[in-house]
């Protein structure tokens, strides 16, 4: 007899584990297949800065136990200026957070299998009916969910995602101690999450310092492999070289050392709109789609929101006496994704592309513009309000806008 579940989920990251948690709470028979071994989980996938905000903490009942530090401010830095915005948040211990989600799912009845890499879909009549995993093992389900991130072994083969290399962002982060978070030459980063726009440090991206308490912080950078990166990159430099350069030149790191026992966090994500997120008997969630916020890289909350939308869709499809898991039925998830998970996605992608195309002196001007405007302007801009965006534009931006338009015009 073939083994069968109501839902099989590939991947035990925040999206996959949250989807399992929601479905198990609804008493569905759920199986989660995770590539890593349980005794090391999540060593290989412990790659998120894990900064999030009260909306996520409340919506998903995230406990204090997995929080490294609660923060009071978000700080934006440019090469020569900074802007401070009061905004409470939390920096999570990502590994503890992922293990907590797994435990939550198991408590409600979800089944987890580690050392179980999903390799391919099982197809019947042109539709996915299950998955192959851990070599030649097979399992069947009414609905299959891909939550494997950019690897996307199922979504790619089903034609649900078309991740492109020139839209890929790569990042690296370390955890440090002996950092001077209140250095007199810079903004006070005590209990803050700081994002720095500076092509000298992260060409075509940004760097960050997330205070995790006392003199410790998560420090990293990422960039998109875009035109701005190609224009500003140093010949022969890899992402590790940029981080080392920052550590060597910023006085805040003069006495900093890596915290013993911590590892480098490396990851990648794609900054592009999804072509689709579901098909017959199948949904893609989290970074598989991709769901990450294109502007500031926040992925935990959006990934978990996509998981919740997928779980609600699965519940509606499986509840009737005659379940309907067709593409038409699961298209509810598509609508929820665009309306609730990632509204204004295309506007935010446009903002992202313009932001990272701008030169360093324009970042200094942006800080002055933010100081000049009222405190709600950044919120409105972040929400995709075009009128608010115009407050930050200048006549001198015309060449930048023209350069952007030329990049987007068909050849």
Give pLDDT tens digits for 110-143. 999 999 999 999 999 999 999 999 999 999 999 9
Same domain (yes/no): 296, 264: no
- In tens, the pLDDT along 265-288 reads 888 877 777 888 999 999 999 989
Please compute the mean of the pLDDT values over residues 383-398 and round it to a whole number. Answer: 76
Q: What is the mean pLDDT of residues 366-387?
A: 80
35 and 117 assigned to the same domain: yes
Helices (H), 170-299: 227-232, 239-249
Neighbours of 58 (CB within 10 A): 9
Q: 341, 371, 397 — which closes off a domain?
A: 341
Q: Tell me the backbone φ, ψ of residue 270, rounded to 5 degrees.
A: -110, 135
Instruction: Provide mean pLDDT across the span 362-379.
Output: 87
Question: Higher confidence at residue 69 or residue 224?
Answer: 69
Q: Are 312 and 364 contained in the same domain?
A: no
- Give the whole-angstrom CA distance, residue 333 versus residue 38: 30
**What does the alpha-carbon distance between residue 367 and residue 208 come to, in Å, rounded to a whole number?**
16
User: What token pair was written down for 80?
Assistant: 């020569």
Residue in the block written with tokens 């070599």? 135
Expressed in angstroms, the distance from the first to the final Cα of the chain is 56
Q: Find how far residue 87's CA is from the centre of its chain.
A: 19
- Do 122 and 251 have their domain in common? no
Q: Which residues contact 38 (CB under 8 A, 6 or more apart)?
A: 112, 114, 115
- Note whether 28 and 171 are same-domain residues: no
Same domain, residue pair 226 and 83? yes
Please report the beta strands in 28-117, taking only residues with DSSP state E, as ranges in sequence order: 30-33, 51-52, 67-77, 82-92, 111-113
**107 vs 351, residue with greater confidence:** 107
The residue among 341, 363, 382 that closes a domain is 341
Burial of 385: CB neighbours in 10 Å, binned 0-12, 13-18, 19+? middle
Q: Are 54 and 28 in contact (CB under 8 A)?
A: no
Asked if residue 225 and residue 300 are part of one domain, the reply reads no
For the full predicted model, state whether its pTM sits above 0.85.
Answer: yes
**Number of domains, the chain:** 3
Same domain, 173 and 235: yes
How does residue 147 score in pLDDT terms, banded at 50, 70 and 90?
A: very high
pLDDT band at 411 (very low <50, low <70, confident <90, very high): very low
Average per-residue pLDDT for the chain: 90
Residues 231 and 374 in one domain: no
Q: Which of 285, 320, 341 is the last residue of a domain?
A: 341
Q: Residue 66 region, left (φ>0) first, then alpha (ψ -120 to 50), else beta?
A: alpha
**Which CATH number do you get for residue 214?**
3.50.50.60
The span from the CA of 289 to the CA of 398, in Å, is 33
Q: Which range marks the domain in which residue 403 is found?
A: 346-408
Q: How many CB atoms lie within 10 A of CB 406?
A: 8
- Average pLDDT over every residue of 385-404: 75
148 with 288: CB under 8 angstroms?
yes
Distance of CA 155 to the CA centre of its chain: 18
Q: Are residues 28 and 104 in the same domain?
A: yes
Let me know whether 135 and 12 are in one domain.
yes
Residue 295 clears pLDDT 70, i.e. is over it: no
How much is the pLDDT for 404? Answer: 66
Residue 5 banded pLDDT, cuts 50, 70, 90: very high
Residue 177 has pLDDT above 70, yes or no: yes
Tell me, yes or no, whether 215 and 75 share the same domain: yes
Mean pLDDT along residues 73-100 = 95
């Amino acid at each position: 007899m073939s083994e069968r579940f109501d839902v099989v989920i590939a991947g035990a990251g925040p999206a996959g584990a949250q989807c399992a948690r929601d479905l198990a709470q609804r008493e569905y028979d759920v199986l989660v297949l995770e590539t890593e071994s349980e005794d090391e989980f999540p060593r290989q996938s412990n790659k998120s800065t894990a900064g999030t905000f009260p909306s996520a903490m409340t919506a998903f009942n995230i406990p204090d136990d997995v929080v490294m530090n609660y923060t009071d401010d978000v700080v934006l830095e440019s090469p020569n200026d900074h802007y401070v915005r009061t905004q409470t948040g939390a920096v999570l211990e990502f590994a503890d957070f992922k293990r907590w989600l797994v435990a939550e799912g198991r408590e409600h009845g979800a089944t987890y299998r580690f050392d179980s890499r999903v390799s391919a879909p099982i197809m019947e009549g042109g539709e996915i009916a299950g998955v192959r995993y851990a070599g030649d093992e097979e399992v069947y389900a009414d609905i299959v969910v891909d939550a494997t991130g950019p690897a996307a072994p199922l979504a790619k083969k089903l034609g649900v995602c078309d991740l492109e290399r020139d839209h890929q962002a790569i990042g690296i982060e370390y955890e440090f101690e002996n950092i001077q978070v209140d250095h007199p030459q810079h903004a006070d980063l005590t209990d803050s999450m700081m994002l720095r726009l500076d092509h000298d440090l992260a060409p075509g991206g940004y760097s960050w310092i997330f205070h995790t308490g006392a003199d410790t912080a998560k420090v990293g950078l990422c960039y998109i492999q875009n035109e701005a990166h190609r224009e500003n990159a140093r010949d022969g430099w890899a992402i590790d070289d940029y981080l080392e350069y920052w550590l060597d030149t910023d006085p805040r790191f003069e006495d900093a050392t890596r915290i013993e026992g911590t590892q480098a966090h490396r990851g990648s994500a794609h900054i592009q709109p999804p072509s689709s997120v579901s098909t017959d008997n199948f949904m893609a969630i989290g970074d598989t789609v991709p769901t990450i916020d294109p502007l500031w890289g926040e992925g935990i909350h959006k990934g978990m929101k996509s998981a919740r939308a997928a779980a609600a869709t699965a519940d509606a499809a499986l509840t009737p006496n005659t379940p309907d898991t067709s593409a038409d039925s699961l298209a509810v998830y598509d609508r929820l994704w665009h309306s609730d998970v990632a509204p204004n996605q295309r506007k935010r992608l446009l903002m992202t592309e313009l932001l990272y195309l701008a030169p360093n002196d324009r970042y200094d001007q942006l800080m002055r513009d933010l100081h000049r405007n009222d405190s709600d302007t950044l919120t409105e801009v972040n929400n995709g309000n075009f009128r608010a965006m115009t407050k930050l534009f200048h006549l001198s931006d015309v060449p930048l806008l023209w350069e952007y338009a030329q990049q987007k015009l068909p050849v």
